[in-house]
Chains A and B, each alone.
Chain A
Amino acid sequence: MTSPVVLSGQGLTMRFGGLTAMAEVDFELHRGEILGIIGPNGAGKSTLLNIITGIYLPSSGEVKLEGEVLNGLSPHKIVGRGIARTFQSSRLFPDLSVLDNVIIGRHSQTKSGVFDAIFRRGRANRELAESAAIAEDLLKAVSRDLFEQRHRPSGELPQADRRRLEIARALASQPKVLLLDEPSSGMDDNDTDALMDDIRGLCAAQPDLSLMIIEHDMRLIAALPQRVMVLDYGQKLADGPFEEVSLIPRVQEAYLGKKAVQNA
């Protein structure tokens, strides 16, 4: 890849008491690139995301965003630096409206505090109206249907729409890097196809946005990311285009088991 590295990790290790969830993992994400992350359950994929977003403090190793070290920063500050994520279980704010969910995503890009809200009403209102307009545009871009439902409580949405909303909310913070944690989980083939189209559209609209996608759905992995990283037992097994990586015996073993590979 010729574009610069926007996000990187060196020697990332995560220990929980006696359990080593991640061991010496390195990775690089280039600008505009889609990096897939695959591996069996418990391989440490979500751990990696949690380390990057500051939810976990790595036992050792560094995460750098455009050269600046992120270690030790609290999650809310990391969002401000330009990393946004979605969750495997779509953690929306269920009793708030669809639109409110996206507006909250704008939190790191806005400034009004208590004083502004009470005494400098005009300024606070303007900022909020602006956020609302940006949020509406984001919803329209993601799905017209979702835009039409923007005043419904987000808890009432079906699964596919929840995922779209989550992505819209993540995009509201104008991130440089977007991390998607198993976006197709809970979706059937049709929904997954739609999801893939959404992501393609997103990348076309924002060519500088870099994506990391954790996935189990191999169709998605084969089609979208330019590169794929394989994790197993907290270690990186391989890194490269999917066609190459899927042929590596160790990778096949991790998914299918040793015997299956030997007998293949």
Chain B
Amino acid sequence: MADLLLQQLLNWVVLGSIYALIAVGFSLLFGVLNIIHFSHGDVSLVAPFLALGAIQALASSFPAASGSLAVLLLCLLLSILLTGLLGVVLEFLVIRRFRNAPVMMALVATVALGIVLRELVRHLFPNGSNPHSFPRFVGGHIELAGVTIPLFSLVAVVCAVLAVAGLFFILNKTRLGLQIRAVSQDRDAARLMSISPTRIFRATFFVASAIGAVGGVFFAGYANLVRFDFSIDVGLIGFSAAVVGGLGSMPGAIIGSLLIAGLDTFVQAVVPNGASYRLVFIFLLVIAVLVFKPSGLFGRTVVEKV
């Protein structure tokens, strides 16, 4: 019994960490650009495909080296970096045009962008419509306080914590972070301080997409599987977590993710036929939170100057 409980707790923490990696990106992008970058989930889930592609490419060129952990990690790292760059490219090609557009328009544009990304993955990746197996890149178990914990879960949580801590560090302790916060508070004033908003947007997109990529890669590893349309679910849930926590608030995104992951795990474990109903519960939670706290749990309630 205690084993089962512990197992579920573990699931909760791992899932929460993965969602948090994506949610944090949503919140960061909203905080800085004031738009909902709906395709963030889709960008994040390009990473596992890039990783698979890299692994397969290496496997055909250097069959001896493939399969080693180092190569695997290298491919993952590469995919994360490339995804970060993808974010920047998207900003340059598409998002840039909607910086000052009405909210609704930017929203629909990013939704369409997400569709395009998914379809591109489906077409460009060999056999894209089918699910592909994704390695749980850290295997094995570890004994901790008498409990057997898969190493993967531990690494996932640790990486998530590191990534978020890294983000906090960048935002609060570096010059870049200061500039990012300046631009998110008042774009024009920042411009007057010779901060180039364009540069900041690109940097933010890189960071957000890279962190999201970490989430994407771990999600694929967790599920042992990746398919081009996973991003719809993951994106929606990550978005929900960010909104529930309060768009623009990093701590909020994390708490929102934990809340949703908790409910997700609980429903799947306890409710009969829970797996089919998990989305219902999650989104009912979202509605409930927003009814009582219309700007999310920690959202900055914009005070209008009247």
Contacts and interface: CB of A to CB of B under 8 A. Distances in A.
B306 interface: yes
Contacts of B306: 46, 50, 55, 87
Minimum-distance CB pairs A-B, first 4 = A50-B306, A55-B306, A46-B306, A87-B306
Interface residues of A, number: 4
Interface in B266-306: 306
B131 to A, nearest CB: 48
Interface of B: 306
Nearest to A85: B306
A46 B306 CA distance: 8
Nearest to A181: B306
Interface string A70-108: 000000000000000001000000000000000000000
B109 to A, nearest CB: 21
A85 B59 CA distance: 73
Interface string A38-59: 0000000010001000010000
Nearest to A55: B306
B191 to A, nearest CB: 22
A214 to B, nearest CB: 12
A50 B306 CA distance: 8
Interface string A176-218: 0000000000000000000000000000000000000000000
4 contacts: A46-B306, A50-B306, A55-B306, A87-B306
Contacts of A55: 306
A43 to B, nearest CB: 15
B305 to A, nearest CB: 8
A55 B304 CA distance: 11
A263 B306 CA distance: 37
A55 B306 CA distance: 9
A186 B306 CA distance: 16
Contacts of A87: 306
A223 to B, nearest CB: 27
Nearest to B304: A55
A119 to B, nearest CB: 31
Contacts of A50: 306
Contacts of A46: 306
Nearest to A49: B306
Interface in A18-55: 46, 50, 55
